Amino acid sequence: MTFWVDDDEQRGGGGGGYSGSGGNCGGDSSEGNYYSGGGGGSSTSPASTPEVDDKEIKGTKAGCVYDKLMNSSNDFNSIIQKFMGEKPINHLTFKIDYSLPNKTNARTKNLDDFNIAILVNGNTLGQRTVIGLARTLIHEAIHAEMKRKLISVGYKLDKISFPGIYDYMKRYRQSKNQEWDHEQMAAHYIKTIADALEDFDGGTHSRDFYESLSWEGLQGTTSWDNLSETKRKNIINTIKNNRKNGNKNCS
């Protein structure tokens, strides 16, 4: 079986078949602010833009956190490096977006055939903790890497090219939320996110703290539902406590 994926799909689109609409495969990937209580363009040549363009976030809290992640986390750095090189498949752009609702921490989307953008919510930057913002950038970078893989095979996916994505798309693309990408992230990337956060933070907290933060944005997945009620409550309390009391100044 082969999945044909359109590059302008939106999360929550229609279902049916494997060619056309439905699922979050090549369009927008949004990361919600789960506990807050609130919350494709024209083709251009890859050579026309920088491989990784972070100039718009320079001088912001997001830029500060991004630079610290690049200097501290091999996991985050290795994802970003996939968009560099002599002939990158895609370029990656970081932007501050003031049109996102407060419920949405960030969004990853295709700007055109060759450029993927991570849009960070500018309305809520001042309220974000430094480590919470780091988690958002790691989460969205993983989304960007998933998109890069899909584009590398021309949105024609089979179980040989990327068997992990193929498996999760096959199982979850027709599900209610169609969030195969979050299902895969929750099942296989909690350790990666936690490792990056621990490196970023210098290991000043417990391992359980970093793993708990890594679950934000992945609630409602099968892996989340399979956790015990006690574990889920502890994770929610850790996230809430960090949001309220965590450091909000990046320097």
Torsion of CA 92, 93, 94, 100, to 10 degrees: -110
pLDDT recorded at residue 143? 95
Q: Is the pLDDT of residue 43 over 90?
A: no
Residue type, 70: M
Element (H or E) spanning 230, and its range? helix 229-245
Q: Is the pLDDT of residue 231 over 60?
A: yes
Q: Is the pLDDT of residue 10 over 90?
A: no
Domains: count for the chain: 1
Are 95 and 118 in contact, with CB atoms under 8 Å apart? yes
Q: Which two tokens stand for residue 14?
A: 């229609």
| Cβ-based neighbour number of residue 110 at 10 Å | 23
Task: Give 163's pLDDT tier (boundaries 50, 70, 90).
Answer: confident
Q: Is residue 74 part of a domain?
A: yes
The radius of gyration of the chain from alpha carbons, rounded to an integer in Å, stands at 17
**All residues at 6 or more sequence positions from 20 whose CB lies less than 8 Å from its CB, including other chains:** 4, 6
Q: Is residue 251 part of a domain?
A: no
Lay out the sheet containing 156-157: strands in order across.
19-20, 3-5, 156-157
pLDDT recorded at residue 170? 85
Tell me the β-bridge partners of 91. Answer: 115
Say which range, 72-86, 172-186, 204-218, has the weakest mean pLDDT: 172-186
pLDDT tens-digit series, residues 60-111: 999 999 999 999 999 999 999 999 876 667 889 999 999 999 999 999 999 8
Domain encompassing residue 240 = 3-245
Say which range, 48-52, 97-101, 195-199, 241-245, has the weakest mean pLDDT: 48-52
Beta-sheet pairing, 29-32 with 104-110? antiparallel
Q: Is residue 161 part of a domain?
A: yes
Q: Is residue 250 part of a domain?
A: no
Q: Please, what is the Cα angle at 137 between 133 and 139, to 5 degrees?
A: 110
Model-level pTM? 0.81
Q: Is residue 156 part of a domain?
A: yes
| Cβ-based neighbour number of residue 68 at 10 Å | 19
Which residue reads 């002939």 in tokens?
87
Query: How much helix, strand and coil, in percent to the nearest 5, is found in the chain?
Result: 45, 15, 40
3-state secondary structure (DSSP) of residue 186: helix
